[in-house]
């Protein structure tokens, strides 16, 4: 096992919270998602809870995968197919990757005319398929906060999420609350029992207003940028689509005889008696490693059974009248 005890603890805490939220809410959950606008990778939110909206079933019918935002905002429509390159205002390689991903997700259909590829949407994209987004930052030990305060202040000032919550295993004191922005809700969560106590309710943020995003920090200088409502709208759509397509069971089980899957699909090591992080703790350098077949876990079926997410939907692809003459 790797020596750093904090990372495995945070990983196990995060997975336990996701499992709990699957049972306690009707949210669709995703883990480790870019949650900024100017530089999405700069801020990664631990958990995003997507609250279904009125047209959620329409979105679920399209694909179990992420639909690229560039495909949604492109000039590709549901009517006549268009030459793929003409539908995008971006680099050719980016457009090519977007088309391929949209076809793979079932959002685009592709056909060849005179040696050129044409694409069209298989359906209109539902505008109100999610009602809100909840960003959850996990910090089991508040006595080792790291950059927690800066991260939460950025989340509140940017306002990408409708609500922001801090989840912790620690006893929350008045001093802790004073260091956390007032708009941030606080949960105390016990990953062993699955008990969640609301210490403070979050204050709703306004995703329709401009936000302020921290983009760089230097000695004696902090750079910020003002993010428009339109930019936030696209970023929220990206987060929502990534949440829907990615989920939270993103890890692979190691080929170790000591690892089994819990009923909710978490990797549990019988030797150490706890949930482990396969990407950081498992492998040949672990003293308890014993070669064996990895557990057979159907993460998609678990997610389908436990959340509104739909695995392997029938899809919405259809043949447009008259296209046969081009084939």
Listed residue (298, 293, 296, 289) closest to 270, CA to CA: 289
Give the integer Cα–Cα distance in Å for 149 and 142.
11
Give the integer Cα–Cα distance in Å for 42 and 45.
10
Q: Write down the pLDDT at residue 323.
A: 42
Mean pLDDT for the stretch of residues 197-222: 90
State the chain's mean pLDDT as an integer. Answer: 92
Mean pLDDT for the stretch of residues 121-148: 94
pLDDT tens digits for 102-122? 999 999 999 999 999 999 999
Residue 271 DSSP label: T
pLDDT tens digits for 228-287? 999 999 999 999 999 999 999 999 999 999 999 999 999 999 999 999 999 999 988 899
Is the pLDDT at 5 greater than 60? The verdict is no
pLDDT tens digits for 11-40? 999 999 999 999 999 999 999 999 989 876
Q: Write down the pLDDT at residue 317.
A: 62
Alpha-carbon distances of 120 from 68, 100, 319, 320, 323, rounded to whole Å:
14, 12, 11, 10, 12
- Lowest-pLDDT range, 85-94, 207-216, 317-326? 317-326
Give the integer Cα–Cα distance in Å for 289 and 291.
6
Beta bridge partners of 224: 214
Q: Write down the pLDDT at residue 23.
A: 97
Cα R_g (the chain), whole angstroms: 22
């Amino acid at each position: 096992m790797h020596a750093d005890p904090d990372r495995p603890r945070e990983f196990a805490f995060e997975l336990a919270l996701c499992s709990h939220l699957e049972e306690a809410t009707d949210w669709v959950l995703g883990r480790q998602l870019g949650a900024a606008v100017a530089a999405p990778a700069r801020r990664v939110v631990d958990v995003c809870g997507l609250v279904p909206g009125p047209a959620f079933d329409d979105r679920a019918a399209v694909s179990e995968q992420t639909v690229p935002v560039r495909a949604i905002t492109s000039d590709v429509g549901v009517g006549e197919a268009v030459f793929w390159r003409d539908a995008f205002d971006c680099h050719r390689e980016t457009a090519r990757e977007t088309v391929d991903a949209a076809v793979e997700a079932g959002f685009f259909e592709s056909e060849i005319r005179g040696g050129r590829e044409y694409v069209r949407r298989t359906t209109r994209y539902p505008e109100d398929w999610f009602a809100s987004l909840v960003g959850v930052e996990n910090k089991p030990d508040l006595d080792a906060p790291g950059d927690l305060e800066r991260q939460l202040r950025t989340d509140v000032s940017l306002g990408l999420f409708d609500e922001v919550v801090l989840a912790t295993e620690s006893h929350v004191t008045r001093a802790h609350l004073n260091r956390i922005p007032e708009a941030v809700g606080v949960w105390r969560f016990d990953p062993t029992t699955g008990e969640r106590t609301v210490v403070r309710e979050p204050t709703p943020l306004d995703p329709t207003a401009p936000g302020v995003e921290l983009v760089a920090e230097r000695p004696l200088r902090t750079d910020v940028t003002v993010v428009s409502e339109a930019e936030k709208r696209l970023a929220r759509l990206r987060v929502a689509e990534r949440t829907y397509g990615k989920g939270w069971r993103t890890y692979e089980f190691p080929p170790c005889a000591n690892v089994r899957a819990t009923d909710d699909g978490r990797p549990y090591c019988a030797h150490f008696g706890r949930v482990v992080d396969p990407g950081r703790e498992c492998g040949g350098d672990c003293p308890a490693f014993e070669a064996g077949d990895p557990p057979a876990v159907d993460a998609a079926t678990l997610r389908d059974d436990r959340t509104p997410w739909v695995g392997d939907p029938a899809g919405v692809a259809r043949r447009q009248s008259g296209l046969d003459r081009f084939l």
